[in-house]
Structure 1
Amino acid sequence: MSRLRVYITTRGAMLIVVLGIGFIFLWTIRSILSPLIWAMIVAYILDPVVDWMARRLRVRRVLIVVLLTLVLLGSLVLTFFAIRFILVRELRDLIFSIPRIAGDIQDYILGTQRIDIFGVIIDPNDLRSEISRAIQDNMSGLGRMALPFVVRAVGSVVPLLLFLISTFYLLLDFDKIGPAIVNFLPRRWRRDIIPLLRDSERVLGSYIRGQVFLILIMTVASWLVLTVLQIRYSLLLAIITGVVEIFPVIGPWTAGGIAVSVALTQPTALFNGSSTLLAIAVGLAYFSLRQLEDIFVIPNVVGKVMELHPLVVLFALTAGSYLAGILGLLIAVPIAAVVKVYLRFVHQKLIEEEQAEAREYHGADE
């Protein structure tokens, strides 16, 4: 049976130890890493823009980073003040409509007659009263939650500042990170590791930039569809649709379910006033958008670089959610894709080692 020969220098052994200690340390403080991870994602997305502007304008990188940071902050502030009144109004209306929506959905599913299930009598009116009471109890508790909410909001300023500062410095020195990693590696590793890092960068770049584009496309497209169909809270639902695109498989179904639920419980002048037909139209529209996304957008934007089986994606999402919550859901798929790149690399090295041993064996026989 062939054996894989591994040559480890002192520097290589130190590198492995440092990486192991670093991984343990990062895992210990994983709960506070979210701002840094978001900063790395944003810096990764904006780095090509900074490089292009620095070349075209022929100015120092630090000036471009400062200018771009100010422009982005200004754009975010202007956008927030432009849409905040619409969003606040739609969010408030949606929250206070939850009891009515729940009751309408119950009437649609159960009707108004008592139901006998194996001798157990279910009265829809009693069930509606219980649901409304539970929702109202939770709504009344919102006032008591105001102070803790304010405290958490103030506490979130620190992670926000950490995110902004980290993004600034990462953009400032992003072009130096790659060479620093390569210089730290033992020389005999570089011939193999550099292509591996490039493949990993290609996978991550394709995924992150593709997701940003998908968010923009789905937000605009769903807003247009919901506006044409005269769905309430169209802007809020469109933003939710775009944001949940970052959660593969789960996100699109969640967004479609929310939009259909709202359509099912609102009065409409379309389809002869039938909310059921309106909900079906919304469902078909979301299904069509998803199909167009899968056929035209994803192959051309993200490409086939991910090459992950749907079961692998589901397992990665489940594991990511269990280990790191929402952040785990965000990074599970790209991490799985990078792991696949590394496994392919190890497999290729094993094959090359077997072929080398076979050549040595046949050469010795001759």
Structure 2
Amino acid sequence: MRIQNAFRAGLIGSLGVGLGLVLMTAVHSLATVLTYIFIALFLSLGLDPAVKWLMSKKFPQWAAILTVVIAVVGGVVAILFTVVPMMVDQIVTLWNTLPKEITSLKTTDWIAFIQKQFGSFIDVNQVITDVGHFFGDPANISKIAGGALAVGVGVANALTGTLVVVILTLYFTASLQTIKNTAYSLVPLSKREKFIEMSEEITGGVGKYVVGQIALAALNGILAFIVLNLIGGKQALLFAFLAFLFALIPLIGTVMSSIIVTLGQLLLADAQVAIIIGIYFLIYMQVEAYVFSPKIMNKAISIPGSIVVIAALAGGTLMGILGALVAIPIAASIVLIIKEVVIPAQNEA
């Protein structure tokens, strides 16, 4: 009998381990699909406040959802047919003029200053000459172009993924309340009211966070574009898009975008333009931290600053930029659950 029990226990244990391995393999194989679903659900929570706002203005639910869907589709189409062609044109222009721009750095005052200070350790002018020759050599350009095939495949995959995410986002936005109600029905009736209350608070806070982060990033990109045009900056649209893209990263995104834009203008324009745009970003970061961010994010979920830093670092390490973006609302949700569920349960015990 003992042998039978031991055999049965071993068999069940081995089946459990095998099932776990199968599930882990399946999750690994479906990682890309699961990522698309997660991003789409995250974005749909960001669109949900717009739907609720329209419903508060006496829109029927179907009309509010349809309005938001049309706005999103219209925005995506407008970007594809207006902004993207101009960005591609600026990228091509930048690529064609890059060797000349690099070589011309030798005539600038700030390079002469660096050469004077550090010339005994490194010949800065020679380094600039070698870099310019590298990008100007047709053989090297051919090598880069050969590697561009892999980049092209990556871009195609990114476009396909973006299309899938947009479609899923629209679907989740249209059926978000149905998905919520289905999830709520799986909770025991005795705990359902509290579960619904916390879920609505979490999803509402996440939605406001997504809207706030995108709004701050868009503001950063638009203002950078305006300032670059006013001061005669080069490739304004391209660098404004980079400013928007990096500003999506919590905490350090605006700092990274300011460094990239400033260095880019130092290379392509001149030191004066770089200094002006650098000063602008220093002022903007202060205004964003003390004016824009509190006003835009005041209704979003909030957590202590130390947890924000830890969550962003952990999310960035695990999933890159996307992980850093979503880690903060996830951490805030965990903090809320601990405050509302775990601590009261411990106090009752």
TM-score bracket relative to the smaller structure: 0.7 to 0.9
Conserved 8 A contact 1:34-1:327: no
Residue number in structure 2 paired with 1:82: 82
CA-CA distance at 1:243 after TM superposition: 2.1
Q: Distance in 1 between matches of 2:255 and 2:227?
A: 17
- 5 Å matches for 1:1-366? 29-50=30-51, 61=62, 69-70=69-70, 72-99=72-99, 104=105, 107=111, 110-111=114-115, 115-116=119-120, 122-132=122-132, 139-156=141-158, 158-267=160-269, 275-303=270-298, 305-350=300-345, 352-354=347-349
Conserved 8 A contact 2:40-2:168: yes
CA-CA distance at 1:64 after TM superposition: 6.4
CA-CA distance at 1:254 after TM superposition: 1.3
Compare 228-237 and 104-113 and name the one that shifted more.
104-113
CA-CA distance at 1:59 after TM superposition: 6.4
Q: Distance in 1 between matches of 2:345 and 2:272?
A: 59
CA-CA distance at 1:252 after TM superposition: 0.7
Unaligned runs of 5+ in 1: 1-19, 268-274, 355-366
Q: CA 1:342/1:135 → structure 2, altered by over 3 Å: closer, same or farther? A: farther
Superposition TM-score, scaled by structure 2 size: 0.77
Q: CA 1:253/1:101 → structure 2, altered by over 3 Å: closer, same or farther? A: farther
Query: What secondary structure, in the 3-state scheme, does the structure 1 residue paired with 2:309 have?
Result: helix
CA-CA distance at 1:138 after TM superposition: 6.1
CA-CA distance at 1:42 after TM superposition: 3.1
**Amino acid in the other structure paired with 2:262:** V
**Amino acid in the other structure paired with 2:36:** P
Q: Distance in 2 between matches of 1:30 and 1:208?
A: 23
Q: Distance in 2 between matches of 1:201 and 1:68?
A: 18
Conserved 8 A contact 2:228-2:277: yes
Structure with greater helix percent: 2
Superposition TM-score, scaled by structure 1 size: 0.74
Query: What number of residue pairs does the alignment pair up?
Result: 322
Conserved 8 A contact 2:217-2:245: yes
**Amino acid in the other structure paired with 1:293:** E
CA-CA distance at 1:170 after TM superposition: 1.4
Q: Distance in 1 between matches of 2:140 and 2:336?
A: 47
CA-CA distance at 1:231 after TM superposition: 0.7
Conserved 8 A contact 1:203-1:305: yes
**Amino acid in the other structure paired with 1:177:** I
**Amino acid in the other structure paired with 2:283:** S
Deviations 1:214-240 (A, max 9, x none): 123222222111111111111221122
Deviations 1:41-89 (A, max 9, x none): 332233344456678787672x765665455334432333223443122
Conserved 8 A contact 2:90-2:235: yes
Q: Distance in 1 between matches of 2:252 and 2:98?
A: 22
CA-CA distance at 1:144 after TM superposition: 0.7
Compare 70-79 and 97-106 and name the one that shifted more.
97-106
Q: Aligned Cα RMSD in Å?
A: 3.4
CA-CA distance at 1:284 after TM superposition: 1.4
**Amino acid in the other structure paired with 2:244:** G
**Amino acid in the other structure paired with 1:325:** G
**Amino acid in the other structure paired with 1:315:** I
CA-CA distance at 1:130 after TM superposition: 4.2
Q: Distance in 2 between matches of 1:243 and 1:313?
A: 20
Q: Distance in 2 between matches of 1:155 and 1:199?
A: 35
Q: Distance in 2 between matches of 1:307 and 1:55?
A: 25
Conserved 8 A contact 2:48-2:173: yes
Residue number in structure 1 paired with 2:12: none
